[in-house]
Chains A and B, each alone.
Chain A
């Protein structure tokens, strides 16, 4: 994501749809396709599995092609020559890399993004350069998801923790609970209560409906509050909204697949980790790789196993298998046994809405967590980060302001002078590494990173347009 600031933003001719070629119709590929189609792009999806493509085509308005994604003939047939962007997100790192290389040398595709999972490749960033595999951006959805879950474990009170501007600014979602000092008070009280900490409440969701926060808004119990602050301040702000829990200590993970494994590896030195995996062979591999985490062979929905391993004492319980139903069931079992916070990975978006906020504290949709990192590359204007919120209903964007007062509709203006659509708020500005909260009288300068919170997806285009520089600047 860092390299994006220097990259040429994708600026197709006005009015033209962006032509995007997606390789791989797996979980990542189909989610991306789904999101991009809704934003009116021209999408072609290539996969070796015709059945997968057929289901995709039945649902979405796009073109599909069966074939090997690393063969030049297939790429040509898929129209790579005219494409503005290649998204190589097949299961195989190697196929993705080769496809990027071919796109660069045979088809001159402007932007090439590859999904690279192997840490070995990622450790040698030079192989992605223009003389080698020509991968402009590499993404690893599993790693994004792992980092995301890790944040939730670090801040067990938060529903969502998202970072902007290389981690300097965080957007945190918390549920207000009885007993928090701010609950039952007006928002402006926050200012007088904590004069030393600068923060902005970006949105409040009450019973799943957004409320535009104003100084006089009263926080109620059960509200989902999104606030933006410098990362170092988020702990003290959270304390105002709800009783702080003890920091998490014991973590139990069910499912030792790609995500469970990465998470256990990243946590095992700071937390007491137990990892439950169903496959004996996989268990042995995991146990060989992990140094401190305890690997258990068994079924995550086996209440006897959970009880023997004292799931009731666990601070964070993460169900991360491939099976939605199993994840939900084992999370429910864990919660019933007394686990403090349960996180469940759920692929089917219908289920996510069903269980979130009930017994299961956090229902994670991998697609929603990871899509933002891809969307950032696809969006018009210079977008440094995109995070999907509330299961895709809302979005937070980090946009870079270019141009001057003449060519831009943002730069050189006070925040309250900017013609933001209703429901969009500017949360914070990052200027040369310094975090400035988005109060109404602040002036936006050139090259500022502006963090915008949008409660309704329909406004995203408008916001992006706002940040685009008038033709003639380049």
Chain B
């Protein structure tokens, strides 16, 4: 109990900080002159702030240094509490929105999934749209990295959180000696790339709001859009190209970007085995799927096929979730391949979700090691990624992760099947949610959205997003009896 209270204490502080996030939609409401929306946002801000302060004061006696166990609890707490408070403006502004749907929407935003239950996005208040995208962006780098940069300033240790949160198995590649410094640097790189994306999208013909929103969604690999037709609304190859580039950038390890910026060199990209694999798989798949669509006669010319295949494939493979056409109509191989890529492609340390490329590489190499072991029983053959040896305990952790991943996908898919959804919809919805990708197929495909689901089904998808974002272990560990034992 004491531990939970310590975590609530930290959570209170975090909510106070989070309430600052309302400043952006407040400014936008002022600019667009949306008076009632402005008051709703201010109200939400005050509530979030006061709730945070209340939690902080009520538990101040339990203030203490966070251990790793605290970290797991805090991370899960944050990822459930923040979406809960973020629903406030949605519930206040949009009439008739249920808490279930609002919570799905904010969870989808903060977990950078990008699945939506809202229809009529084009007519939605600009400030609400901005708020949704800001959630994407904040979620993008992992709110936690922000927290890692800010929390230590507030006197709360950060290293533990970093261990529990940063995506991927290669967590300990410290870039700078101090965790705060690392987080701040990563955050800075993230902001710089986002700014570049905003400017380019504006130059490519979007208005400022669309440019900011889509840049936020692309960098966070969230995939929210201000239009029901998503990026298809703009029907501009240039915009699609810009977004492809930035989605791929966001799907690479931000540590690599940071090293490239600091060293003013592009060579680090060649040394980033994982990033190379990510880009290689994406590029090869783009050309391959385009060829397939052209051969199937979906598109009359190879170039058109390439354009649509590239954008939608990159969007799904990087776990972003934009769509420019209804790829649900494509022959089933193409969307299934894209969903498959969404599970494996994104790099660790990126804003994407899923298994992560480094784990995929480790598994591939592990399979290769088994072959070598059969042929040469005495061979000493350590796992190597990018020239450095990966210890066996990481390999086992990855195997455990993959097992849990597939079990989670299978069991949640069964739950959706029990609830009456068809197989393709169930399976694709779970895959899309657990990978934080966004659109699935059929009922939850790019043409429709998740609003057709029952409340129960919506909650299951919300759960899948949370589990996926927290890399499964962080969440499931809370349900082991040992975690609560002293």
Binding site for B on A (CB under 8 A): 277, 280, 283-284, 286-288, 291, 294-298, 305, 308-309
Contact = CB atoms under 8 A, between A and B. Distances in A.
B379 A294 contact: yes
A308 to B, nearest CB: 7
Interface in B360-394: 372, 376-382, 384, 387-389
Nearest to B377: A308
Contacts of A296: 376, 378-380
A237 to B, nearest CB: 39
A297 B378 contact: yes
Contacts of A287: 380-382, 389
A288 B376 CA distance: 17
A190 B389 CA distance: 55
Q: What 3 A-B pairs are tightest by C-beta distance, nearest first?
A: A283-B380, A288-B389, A295-B380
Given A288-B389, A291-B387, A297 B380 contact: yes
Nearest to B388: A288
A305 B379 CA distance: 10
Contacts of B384: 288, 291
A305 B377 CA distance: 9
Contacts of B381: 287, 294-295
A294 B375 CA distance: 11
B380 A308 contact: no
Contacts of A277: 380
A40 B420 CA distance: 99
Given A288-B384, A288-B389, A295 B379 contact: yes
A225 B378 CA distance: 41
B382 A308 contact: no
Contacts of B372: 294
Contacts of A288: 382, 384, 388-389
Interface of B: 372, 376-382, 384, 387-389
Contacts of A286: 380
Contacts, number: 38
A309 B381 CA distance: 15
Nearest to B382: A287
Given A287-B381, A288-B382, A296-B379, 17 more contacts: A277-B380, A280-B380, A283-B380, A284-B382, A284-B389, A288-B384, A288-B389, A291-B384, A291-B387, A294-B376, A295-B381, A297-B378, A297-B380, A308-B376, A308-B377, A308-B378, A309-B376
A250 B203 CA distance: 59
Name, among B378, B382, B387, B388, the residue most crowded by chain A CB atoms within 10 Å (CB to CB): B378
A163 B372 CA distance: 39
Contacts of B380: 277, 280, 283-284, 286-287, 295-297
A405 B376 CA distance: 67
A30 B380 CA distance: 36
A298 B382 contact: no
Contacts of A284: 380, 382, 389
Q: Which of B372, B380, B381 has the most CB of A within 10 A?
A: B380
A286 to B, nearest CB: 8
A48 B388 CA distance: 38
Contacts of A280: 380
Nearest to A276: B378
A304 to B, nearest CB: 10
Given A288-B389, A291-B387, A305 B382 contact: no
Contacts of A291: 384, 387
Contacts of B376: 294, 296, 308-309
Contacts of B389: 284, 287-288
A280 B380 CA distance: 8
Contacts of B388: 288
28 contacts: A277-B380, A284-B382, A284-B389, A287-B380, A287-B381, A287-B382, A287-B389, A288-B382, A288-B384, A288-B389, A291-B384, A294-B372, A294-B376, A294-B379, A294-B381, A295-B379, A295-B381, A296-B378, A296-B379, A296-B380, A297-B378, A297-B379, A297-B380, A298-B378, A308-B377, A308-B378, A309-B376, A309-B378
B30 to A, nearest CB: 59
A309 B377 CA distance: 9
Contacts of A308: 376-378
A284 B389 CA distance: 9
A391 B256 CA distance: 55
A284 B384 CA distance: 11
A154 B377 CA distance: 29
A295 B377 CA distance: 11
Nearest to A286: B380
B276 to A, nearest CB: 16
Contacts of A295: 379-381
A250 to B, nearest CB: 14
A309 B378 CA distance: 9
B372 to A, nearest CB: 8
Contacts of B382: 284, 287-288
A442 to B, nearest CB: 52
A278 to B, nearest CB: 11
A277 B376 CA distance: 14
A305 B378 contact: yes
A334 B477 CA distance: 55
A292 to B, nearest CB: 11
Contacts of B378: 296-298, 305, 308-309
A287 B372 CA distance: 13
Contacts of A283: 380
A225 to B, nearest CB: 40
> Which of B372, B376, B388 has the most chain A CB atoms closer than 10 A to its own CB?
B376
A102 B376 CA distance: 51
Contacts of A297: 378-380
B20 to A, nearest CB: 47
Contacts of B387: 291
Contacts of B379: 294-297
B373 to A, nearest CB: 11
A297 B381 CA distance: 10
A349 B382 CA distance: 38
B172 to A, nearest CB: 17
A89 B384 CA distance: 36
Nearest to A305: B378
A298 B376 CA distance: 11
A300 to B, nearest CB: 11
A287 B387 CA distance: 11
B244 to A, nearest CB: 33
A309 B380 CA distance: 13
A253 B376 CA distance: 15
Nearest to B372: A294
A309 B372 CA distance: 12
B374 to A, nearest CB: 12
A294 B378 CA distance: 10
Nearest to A283: B380
A277 B387 CA distance: 21
A58 to B, nearest CB: 42
A72 B127 CA distance: 78
A291 B385 CA distance: 11
Contacts of A309: 376, 378
